[in-house]
Amino acid sequence: MLAFIKISLLNRKIHDIISLLREGLLFDETETIMRHISYKPLWHTLLDKNMKKEDLRISAGLTTNMIANMGKNKGISMETLAKICDALQCEITDVIELTEEPPKEDE
């Protein structure tokens, strides 16, 4: 019975928090900025080095899925980022950037 009461109270608290979130009372939306990953620097770096995506895939030991995910601006692992930086002999800022606007696919 005690467990049921605790669960009921927890559900009520969760419902109250959701209501506050919907009303914007829990936080100021103007202070919340969603940042997005962009691989735009990577595509520029490849152009500067006269390389294609396939050249990068081979030299960094990446899969075609990893390249496809980057083309869709999806996240990749830090290990993959390190492989790319090693293969291109560049810094991480030459590969990714964070933007406030969602980047377009294959940008």
The string of DSSP letters for 11-46 reads HHHHHHHHHHHHHT-SS-GGG----EEE-HHHHHHH
Interval 19-70: pLDDT, tens = 666 666 555 555 566 778 889 999 999 999 999 999 999 999 999 999 999 9
Mean pLDDT of 82-90: 95
CA–CA distance, 78 with 39 (Å, rounded to integer) = 14
Mean pLDDT of 89-106: 82
Band (pLDDT 50/70/90 cuts) for residue 75 is confident
Task: Write down the mean pLDDT value for the chain.
Answer: 81
Please name the CATH architecture into which domain 36-99 falls.
Answer: Orthogonal Bundle (1.10)
Single-letter amino acid, residue 3: A
Q: Enumerate the domain spans of the chain.
A: 2-31, 36-99
Percent of the chain with pLDDT over 90: 50
